[in-house]
Amino acid sequence: MYGAQCRPICCPPQYIVQDYYTQRLVPVIHPIVNIRRQNIVDVPQHIYQQTTRNVVVDRGFQANPGYVGNRNRLFF
């Protein structure tokens, strides 16, 4: 049909790509810092301190028991 003088035409190649995926594990490190806080809160503590006193009452000399004045006077 075409005679012997025809040169064949070469087209550029067509590429067919078939992609395959293979998994590869990559470590991802997530650092976690646990913080234990101790919060100090002032709470009043009521402390009652008891004391005992010995008191000596000297009524003095009572020469006149019917006298209504100051009875603890030593000198009249």
52-64: pLDDT as tens digits: 998 888 887 766 6
pLDDT at 2: 56
pLDDT of 42 over the 70 cut: yes
Q: Which pLDDT score is estimated for 62? A: 67
Can you tell me the distance from the alpha carbon of 67 to that of 59, in angstroms, rounded to the nearest whole number?
A: 13
Amino acid type, 17: V
Q: What is the distance, to the nearest Å, from the Cα of residue 22 to the centroid of all Cα atoms in its chain?
A: 47
Return left, alpha or beta for 62; rule: phi > 0 is left, psi -120 to 50 is alpha, else beta.
beta
Question: Distance between CA 73 and CA 64 in Å, rounded?
Answer: 12
pLDDT digits (tens, 9 = 90+) for 19-39: 999 999 999 999 999 999 999
